[in-house]
Structure 1
Amino acid sequence: MELRQIGGIDAPLTDDSIGGEAGDDVIRLSDSFGNDTIVGGETSETLGDTLDLSGLTTNVTVDLTDANAESGTVSDGTSTAEFAEIENIILGGGRDTVVLADGSGAHTVQGFSMYHSGDGTTVDQLDVSGLTSDGGTTPINTADVTVTDTNGDGTGDAILTFTGGESITLVGVLSSALDSADELEAIGIPAVPLNYIVEGTTGDDNIVAGYAGDPEGDRVDAGDNLANNNDDLIHAGDGDDTVESGGGNDIVIAGAGDDIVDGEGGDDSLVGGSGHDNLTGRIGNDTLLGGEGDDWLFGEEDDDYVDGGDGNDFITGDQGSDMLIGGSGDDTIFSMFEGDGDDTVVGGETGETTGDVIDYTYMTANHVLTYTGEEAGTITTDTHNLNFVEIESIQLGEGNDTVIGSTGSQNVSTGTGADVVAGGAGDDIFDIGADDGAQDTVVLADDDGNDTISGFEAPVYDPVTDTYTGHDQVDVSGLTDAKGALVNVHDVTVSDDGSGNAVLTFPNGESLTLNQVAPVDLATPAQLAAIGIPMPNFIVDGTAGDDLIDANYIGDPEGDMIDAGDSFGRNDEDRVYAGKGNDTVFGGADNDTINGQAGDDSLHGGSGDDSILGGEGNDVIYGDTSGGSTDELLADGSFEGFKPSLFSQGDSLPDWYSWNNGSPDVSEKGGYEVPWSNTAAPTDGTNYVTLVKSPDDRYGEGISQDLATPLVAGTSYTIKLDAAVGEATNSAPLGEPTFVLIYGNPMAGIVGGEPEGWTTDDIPDGAVLLGSAEITTDFNSGTMETVTITFTPTVDIATLSITLADSEVSEVNNAALILDNISLTEATSDDTLDGGAGDDMIYGGTGDDTFIVSGGNDTIGDFNTGNTGALDDGDQSNNDLVDLSDYYDNIFDLRADQADDGVLNHSNTDVDYSGKVALGGANTLTLTGVDAQDLTFDNTNVTCFTTGTTIRTPDGDRLIETLRVGDLVNTADNGPQPIRWIGMRRLDEKALSAAENLRPVLIDAHVLGNTKPLIVSQQHGMLIEGDKLARAKHLAETLPSVRIMQGKKSVCYVHLMFDTHQIIFAENAATESFYPGPMALKALDQDARAELFTLFPDLQDSMACKAYAQRARPFVGRKALKATTSDLTGNVQSNIRPQGQQHSAIAAE
């Protein structure tokens, strides 16, 4: 090899020409070279000729654009050396530029410096501005370069090949140093022109800030888009890509594959494409489109639009007001977290198997879920609102949530917390959270469907207290029975659904299936009450307002109603507490208890023996409906009418009809003749009616009467009639039972014959059986029996009808029923009436009523009008009664107070009312229309004694005024003995003043073993020390606690006499019975003596005491009694007990 040097540092600048000739020559240029011409030669070469520029320190340009690959120029800007037949070039020490152009061939360059110059480029550069990618118009860029190496394995020298076939080999540069667009740009190859799309590859790309895989060099957040900002458009392409779009309002199209895309900041649009993508919007108003596949979409902050697309997606809007769309498939829409805004959710309806879900599992706020239609509704909190449609089920969170259903079928899991669910109509499914430690409530209402509940906690039994404690509850306050009353435990049927789960069924078909709760856990009323279904308290409660409480009232919290058969005895004996307000109460049928409580009330007991308390306020009280009445409700001669002109003209009677083809028979006025009887029936001077039933008829002939005033539903009535029965075909007595039947019909005007379409087995439309009675008196006997039938219609009755027999009662052959004297009255009832506080107006109505005085200026408007017995027969049960014994010492004081001004007010100045409850001022009683003499012990309970004295009997202690002749009284010696005679003498103030010996003696309580103070006559004998009698007046002289009552203004002595003299017990003190001695007989009034002599005729003899019997005990005299030094108190009965009676008893004089 020949080495030749052109130029030199010290050489003059000359233009040289040098030829290498044969062999591998190296020709060096040094600084100060001229416009030289260099020819390397072409013969005898192995490696070829080399142009060595390493000696140059200046920047030179090596132009290799000539079509001959071994030709070119080297220029330092001053001189240009031309070379030919040069195979290798070694670059110099300056910053050299190698120029290539189309058609320049294949070149090899050594010494290409890859050191960075500090501006992002290398020291040495390629100038490829003459190269085009299409042979003449389009400059090449980094995308048009293929980088290989001389060894083909990355260890050789880098070879850059361009699209036109041109190439350059950079000796000493590895291909790995030029395997990126950035590195190619650094050596001078222009970058690909930007398309403003950050593009991924078909592989699994990680497209984040700094990603350099885009063919055009587009970057994330590089400010290299058309607007020179960070709003990037990213196409990730195929593969499972990860994309972080950074700041700016980016658009990311993830493409195929399971991609993870994070929008980071800005208002981003993220499109998942196919595959199972995970898209997160983060800050900004983002749009997320899941596309195909089961995607996870997170809108996060701000107002986002999220659409899951196809597949079973999981979507959340998080904070902000979001539009969330599930799309096709079973979407777990939408896991909401705290801080949600006002969202709109559309679940989608296609491609579903189990349906879409709104999931609030991690929420702790209290939500109100309200369904507005099928799969549609709202969910709200204090700070969040959500509207949804096309959602099949909802999962709530940890708060105390409320669910309000609609007509559709809902499926909701309420999670933990004390939740309330009300499904509404439709068959709903709720999971209220098992063992969540909170009390959940299931609300039912009328017309709800058949709901299923999971997670319901059954009541727990405590064997110590024998009670059940409920946890979860059922609220049935909106659920009523068929009558409109609120349901209670007795309205619930508990059954098994076939899988061991309890089913609670309510009266109108609503039901509740409680999964995992066994029927046995809710089998009793106590268990049902423990879960919130009310026990009936058997009280019809009013409200605080002005209530109308009648058979239609449904305001009671436990569902109790008037006359609904739901009382404690499962009958119509109702208890009513009207509450506050000015209430109107109708007790209806049966024996009711009514308390008007506060307010000015109008209280009607209705039929039955009612107890009525007015309570506070000025009340009006009626024992019977509207005060009751004993008036005859049928006109005289009803059902009897007049004689038809012909036997068959029964239909001409305007208020009659026949229930079969026959006609009732009417006797001639003034008498009656039974057609088939040999003996005339009795007559009362008016017509009789005969009804006949043949064997072919289900019902006999019937008669009907339109009523002038319809009968009122709920009111009791009594129908009385005289009746006799017999065989219609002969005179033999009737062998089978025959019944008279009373029917009623709400419709009036059913007259004459049979309505069109009837058969002989029919009864009139709407007719209801009111009552019946068997008739046993044969008309051949010449007598009739009186039959009484009491009934309470459930509907108003305008027409009353009578027939005989009934297929359900008996099948009677050829019967004839004779009727007369038919009457109809409102049934009597024995009521208890208490006006309570306030000025009350009270009416007992019919029956023997009891009135209670309890304050205020009360008036009883019909006292004594309903009595069924005499006022002086000693029977308090057969007349009206008002107990005035606390207000008056005796009947005389009571009568005097009534007589002076017609008001019981203690206004009579001649009477001493001390020691009694005061009347007057705001506490008076007026008995309208009652004469003073009509007040007796029977109707006032005021006796002739200051207080009622009790007598010991085998049946216990009885007031002396209640004893009757024949009653048994316990005796000390002879066991129970019957009373043979009772005497009574009343003495007023005048009589007592005229005869001091008639004044009574008062024995204080406990003096002689008596449990209460005891009043006796002065001559009455009291047993002392077990074996002797002492007269009361002598005891008054001896004992300080026994005295003669000098101030007593009246007294009534009651005498009990037996077959023999007895020791009996009055107020537990041993005392003598009446002994008919001379003084005792003299003390009796004339009528009493006459009655006594009638019973004991021998007593009229002067030796009366001998004729009667000897005394039960001897009497001790006054002196002997005074000489007794022992304390008599408490010892007098130490050895005396009544025979036949072991327990303590009381007695009275």
Structure 2
Amino acid sequence: MTITAAQNSATNTNSINGWAGISIPGPVTSIVITYSNAGDASSNANQQILISDVQFNAIPLDSDSILGGTGNDAIFGGIGTDTIDGGADNDVIEGGAGNDSLIGNTGTDTLSYASSTAGVNVNLATGAVSGGHAAGDTISGFENVTGTGLGDTLTGDNNDNVLSGLTGADSLNGAGGNDTLIGGAGADTLVGGSGTDTASYQTATASVIANLATPAGNTGDAAGDSYSSIENLIGSTLSDSLGGNAGANLLEGLAGADTLSGSTGADTLFGGADVDQLFGGIDNDLLDGGTGADFLFGGSGRDTLAGGDGADSVDGGQGFDFADYSGSNAAVSVNLNDTVAESGGHAAGDTLSSIEGLIGSTFGDTLIGDMKANIILGGGGADTIDGGFGSDSIQGGDGNDVIDAGPDTAPVITPPLPQDLRLDWDAQLLTNPNPNIDAGFTQTTGGINIQVTYTEDDSATNTAFTIDNGPLAGNADAVSIYAVNDEIPGDREFDTDSAGVLTRAVGGAGTTEATINFSSAANSGLTGEVSDVYFRISDIDVGGFRDTVTVLAFDALGNPVPVDFTVVATQITESGNTLTAAASASPVAPSSASGSALVYVQGPVASIVIQYGDLNNPGSQQAILLSDVLFTTIPESVDNADDDTVSGGLGDDFIQAGIGIDSLMGDEGNDTLLGEAGNDLLFGGIGEDSLDGGIGDDQLDGGADNDTLLGDTGSDTIFGGSGADSIEGGDGNDTILFGEGADTVFGGDGSDLIDDVGGIQLAGVNLVYSGSGNDTVYTGDGADLLFGDAGNDVLYGENGNDTITGGTGNDTVYGDQGNDVFVVGLNDVTTVAGDADTLAPYEVIYGGGGPGASLGDNDTIDLSVFGFSRVVIVPSAPGSEDGYIKILDTLGNEIGRIDYFNIENIFPCFTPGVMILTDRGEVPVEALVPGDLVMTRDNGLQPVRWVGRRDLGLLDLMADPDLQPIEIATGALANGPDRVLRVSPQHRVLVEGARAELMFGEAEVLVAAKHLLGQAGVTRVLPLEGVAYIHILFDRHEIVQSDGVWTESFQPADRMLSAMDAEVRGEVLKLFPQLAKAEAAFPAARLSLKAHEARVLLAG
């Protein structure tokens, strides 16, 4: 605060005008007063201010008012009545003793009563608090609560809360939201409420056993805990055992050598650090081992298993399972045919079993399928993928991938025969003499992996799962089981001295459980499920013990499978899947028939669960004995189809289909798709793709952009899609649909149907070659070039100014609307042998259109290209557009005939070159050489100094229409020409007369040939044979006579020379060095008119 007095406002010490009262709300610990004077220096020495007494109120001890502000604050109020506001960000606030006002404010804030000397009751939803330090507090704006070391009751709200009870028997209720409940040590009651809630033991200082289904067996911080509406478990950083329930659980082991068991439901298991064991159980599970050499077993269902970093053992179990390497930090190389460890990135050292699908990393992976129907997802990077034999589905993902969907020829597959095998308890002791099998084991026999696991739900002592090892240890008193096998077909027998011993706790009410999972070994040719399962359960005690045994069976998809019992004794009753001993009989020996039951599961079965309990909870340990488990393998059905589905994804992919009916999709990028054998579907997608259907009746779709499509062998269906496509049908009777761009189409061999379905094509010209065979072609709208090639074709030009060449064979041609040109050659007519009296028409041409056609109609038959010796045109009536053309040989004999309809023009002869007037008469321009004397209009005979030539093919002219020549019909100009004159568009023609002199002051002017377009008889043409432009250079710009009219010679200029090839330009400059200067040029022989000037002149 600053107080400033007015200038020259002197006051007395007792005047009210020089007084200021100051009030500070506080709290405050010091006050600083600074005095200065801004007046003149002469008065400074005698100035002063007076300060009155300072009055204040004392604040009671520990009554704090604290504002946290921004940042993650930790605030402790201590004793007293505190007001604490955490402000922004994530704060931890503890008011301590006293009636506190606690506000979390914004962020994710935690209310703590950790120092309370008594338990507290906190409800975030209602704001009600009581007990211990919470008594008298008011709270708001908190998301999380930490209780005391005593028994607390903590309740959340509809947000995602973290409730931590610390030690003591706490009651935690998450209410709404996805909550995390940390009970800590003590027998806690954990209620998740609605949402997906987690019981966490991450603060535990010792290992825990926590099981959502059977919490009675919990240990460590989890001991005594009960769960309600809890879906997930998080373990400690030590070696934990976590188990799920029938729901979809998330089990997270964190650090330590953890065992995670998913049970039923679609579970997600994260092992975390160290060497973990993950068991998915039933349903579609996700298993992630994390770091360390982990063991992953998917169980039944469609599981995804990611071993993570470390040499992992990955067993999919039953069902269709994926090995997932999407999180790898480097490229992986995985081959499902391997019986050795994989390599690269997270795959290094991994062994895979019962895996049908692969998911690659974001790097360039090598992924190889086996003989099953695999799904392979390449992910990012330039992957190399081989599906192997079988009907695979492959997606390359991002990157330039190389994909081979399968072999070119089908391998010889001999499926294995069913085998009668067994789970042999004694055989397990041969590899591991320790009879205790609490930790489970895996036994492989005949291509079947048998995994045995054990769980218990009772914290009492003396529970175990063991193998009776008496005979191996030389113990004469070894237990013998009842092993009669009368009901088993064949000669299979039980071993009386081989048994698994399943015990239960003394005095406990819970059960123990043994699970037997079946899966196929790699490349075994077996499904992994088994059938005709037999085993005996012996020593089912009655009387005071009253054993209960439940047997459950599931197939590879987790569906229940029926279980049948055969019981001899009447004191054991059967109800559904459970056997129950009577209460009124005496116990029996393990070898007694009265205590035994034969179990049969027809299958197919993938998992069997044996649950053992006792109704009377006796005070002595009890056990049941399980015989060897007999079963029969199920061979896989042989998939000879090898029908693959492949998607390239982003990038420039190379995809090869192999045999079978395959579907290949290039997706985005410039892809190459090879169909190989089978009736394949190839879709290029976005990008300039190359598609080859290979053998079979294929369907090809180029998709967007400029594609190259080859049907190859077979009767293919080809659709070009958008873009300027190059399409070839190849062998077979193909259907080719094109036209959404300037396409080039080759029908190839076979009788093809070629159709323009793209509508009006304004950009470019469709070029269609029907190929050999009897083809039907529709070129659609636009100015198309259509070649019938060999075979008896039916050709439809449809709308547009088309040029149609029938080719060899008896063709029928329809021009339809537009100014069409029909080119017919010597090979298009029937040769009449000898003096045959009958002549059949060879070509039939329909010009189409007719008067008033919307696209114009001025059709032409051009007979000049192939050089007929003589033709006779016979109209059906004078002036008719219908008739026929007789083709004659040199002797005048008729050798063929062409019928025509709606044809306006027929050109019977062809001028091979422009005729130039020389000293020896008219000479073809292409015959002139340097030194020849040519008659000029201004200077008489002049020697030719240089002759240049530029040849342009049909495709050159199509690519640049401005290069297409201008054709001037005979007599189209006032003084000629004498015959059809064809020149380049820029070639200038002399025009003379009074109108020119009146308008431009000169009687003779030069007009570019292209500016004559629109005059009668002057057209731009597209010669199928291409064109040669020949230049004649004199010592000056000259006017020469060409086909009877005066036209210009070559006039060099800098822009013309720069457009020439280097070799040609050098030749001209050698003759005329002065032209090397840009400003040097030959003066024009006449005034050259611009386009608009030419239009005005010619309009008269």
Give the structure-2-normalised TM-score: 0.27
Q: Which has the larger radius of gyration?
A: 1
Give the structure-1-normalised TM-score: 0.26
